[in-house]
Amino acid sequence: MNKNIKTNNWKDVSKEMITLIGDHSFDEKTCATKYRNLRDHYMKLKKDHLNLPSGSSPKTPPKWPFFQLFGFVNKRVMLKVV
């Protein structure tokens, strides 16, 4: 992705967060870092959830409140792999 487009997108996210929360500490870098941390946490939970020993009973889905919401990351990761 073009770096300028990415930067502008994070600026938009930052402005929206400031508007919604009223906290001016959400600059572009902070928003990008927080998203990356959430995404990495989701990927770790998903990996742990899917890696079951043979013959094991299925685990219940993780109880992290954002687990279902981060399902869109699966599609993004698949696009990068292909």
pTM for the whole structure: 0.75
User: How would DSSP label each residue in 2-20?
Assistant: -HHHHHHHHHHHHHHHHHH
- Of 78, 74, 42, the residue nearest 61 (C-alpha): 42
Residue range 37-81, pLDDT digits in tens: 999 999 999 888 878 777 777 677 788 999 989 988 887 654 454
Cβ neighbours for 23, distance < 8 A, ≥ 6 positions apart = 17
Write out the two tokens for 11.
């600026």
Residue 31 and residue 25 in contact, taking contact as beta carbons nearer than 8 Å: no
CB 10 within 8 A of CB 32: yes
